[in-house]
């Protein structure tokens, strides 16, 4: 583990003074870079616990004074920024919902103008690299120098393995665009399940991330928010002990592993796109069945094939490879549509 590597830990929400203090006490021995807790919680639906608000500022200040921990929280408005700064917070982060809205990010950036404080930006909810980069640039433009990014995964509509699809290629692309930007991973929000934290955390380490943000609660099973994805300080210690940080002798192997990890991330993205492609083919099949249309639209297929192969060749893919690839995709699409047209359940 290098000296710049960061660990951010603490509860999803600051629920009570006792919960904040007990969790902070349990984390002291792990020497986290920052002790985190959500004070103002942006919830998906009204009526859910939305954080303890301003009283929690005092609990965090007490934890800082008592245990010598640097403290941080999420801000979504300029008022949040002002309150957190006045309370002596050491770092602030912008959450995924806020990153999605350039107006909100600009409001926060303006409130931080001239402030010398580390600011972290979580990726937007949707897989939009430009929005993520844009939020970071807004901070740079007002003079915030110490900016980092937090990868917390991207929302998906369908049921998937993870709560938020990691889509590893997007943070990889972010690092390529902003190579000096520190990048941390938030396995808690990616997985939504404490049992999978180690798997995602290790992958982030293998991809040379600069740190982890892990939700940690003194009694995670009784947490008021996101109980399934939180761990106790003792469980966090066990997880950290299992992480493998390679030494100098493994540098060459690590670089090769990074290339392989990038390939794996790209392959996952290809699989996801192909799944969406075939799902859409199924919808087309249903439409054709309802309107008594032929499965194969020969002219449309030939036009599409020529167009796609031409685009691929211009991007330096071989003509033969591109031709075979799109023929295979079309063949599977026809197969799916044929099944639908011959399935009486789709009558």
Least confident of 19-33, 41-55, 196-210: 41-55
Cβ contacts of residue 83 below 8 Å, gap of 6+?
54, 57
Does 250 score more than 70 pLDDT?
no
* Average confidence (pLDDT) over 262-275: 89
The predicted pLDDT at position 8 comes to 98
This prediction has a pTM of 0.73
**Among 98, 97, 116, 100, CA closest to 108:** 98
* Average confidence (pLDDT) over 181-207: 95
Does 50 score more than 80 pLDDT?
no
CATH 1.20.59.10 positions along the chain are 252-346
Alpha carbon of 265 to those of 49, 207, 243: distances in Å? 35, 11, 20
Q: pLDDT tens across 76-97, in order?
A: 999 999 999 999 999 999 999 9
Domain at 252-346: CATH code: 1.20.59.10
Angle at which helix 251-290 crosses helix 319-341, to 10 degrees, equals: 40
Q: pLDDT tens across 137-191, in order?
A: 999 999 999 999 999 999 987 767 889 999 999 999 999 999 999 999 999 999 9
Q: pLDDT tens across 320-329, in order?
A: 898 899 999 9
Does 113 score more than 80 pLDDT?
yes
Beta strands in the chain (DSSP E): 6-10, 34-36, 71-75, 91-94, 119-122, 147-151, 183-185, 211-215
CATH fold, domain 6-245, is: TIM Barrel (3.20.20)
CATH 3.20.20.70 positions along the chain are 6-245
């Amino acid at each position: 583990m290098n000296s710049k590597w960061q660990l951010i830990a603490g509860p999803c929400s600051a629920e009570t003074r006792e919960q904040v203090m007990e969790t902070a006490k349990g984390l002291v021995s792990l020497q986290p870079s920052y002790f985190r807790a959500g004070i103002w919680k942006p919830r998906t639906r009204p009526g859910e616990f939305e954080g303890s608000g301003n009283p929690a500022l005092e609990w965090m200040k007490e934890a800082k004074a008592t245990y010598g921990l640097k403290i941080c929280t999420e801000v979504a408005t300029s008022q949040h920024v002002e309150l957190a700064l006045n309370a002596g917070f050491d770092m602030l982060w912008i959450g995924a919902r806020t990153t999605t809205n350039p107006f909100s990010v600009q409001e926060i950036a303006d409130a931080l103008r001239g402030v010398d404080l580390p600011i972290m930006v979580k990726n937007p909810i949707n897989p939009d690299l430009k929005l993520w980069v844009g939020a970071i640039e807004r901070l740079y433009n007002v003079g915030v120098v110490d900016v980092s990014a937090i990868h917390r995964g991207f929302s998906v509509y369908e049921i998937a393995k993870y709560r938020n699809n990691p889509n590893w290629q997007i943070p990889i692309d972010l690092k390529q665009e902003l190579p000096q930007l520190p990048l941390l991973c938030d396995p808690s929000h990616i997985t939504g399940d404490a049992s999978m934290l180690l798997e995602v955390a290790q992958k982030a380490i293998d991809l040379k991330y600069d740190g982890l943000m892990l939700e940690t609660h003194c009694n995670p099973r009784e947490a008021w928010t996101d109980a399934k994805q939180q761990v106790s300080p003792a469980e966090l210690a066990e997880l950290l002990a299992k992480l493998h940080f390679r030494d100098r002798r493994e540098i060459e192997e690590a670089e090769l592993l990074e290339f392989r990890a990038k390939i794996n991330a790209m392959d996952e993205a290809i699989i996801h796109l192909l799944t969406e492609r075939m799902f859409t083919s199924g919808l087309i099949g249903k439409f054709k069945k309802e309107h008594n249309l032929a499965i194969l639209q020969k002219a449309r297929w030939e036009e599409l094939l020529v167009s796609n192969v031409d685009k691929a060749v211009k991007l330096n893919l071989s003509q033969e490879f591109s031709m075979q690839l799109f023929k295979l995709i079309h063949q599977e699409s026809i197969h799916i549509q044929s099944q639908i047209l011959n399935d009486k359940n789709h009558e």
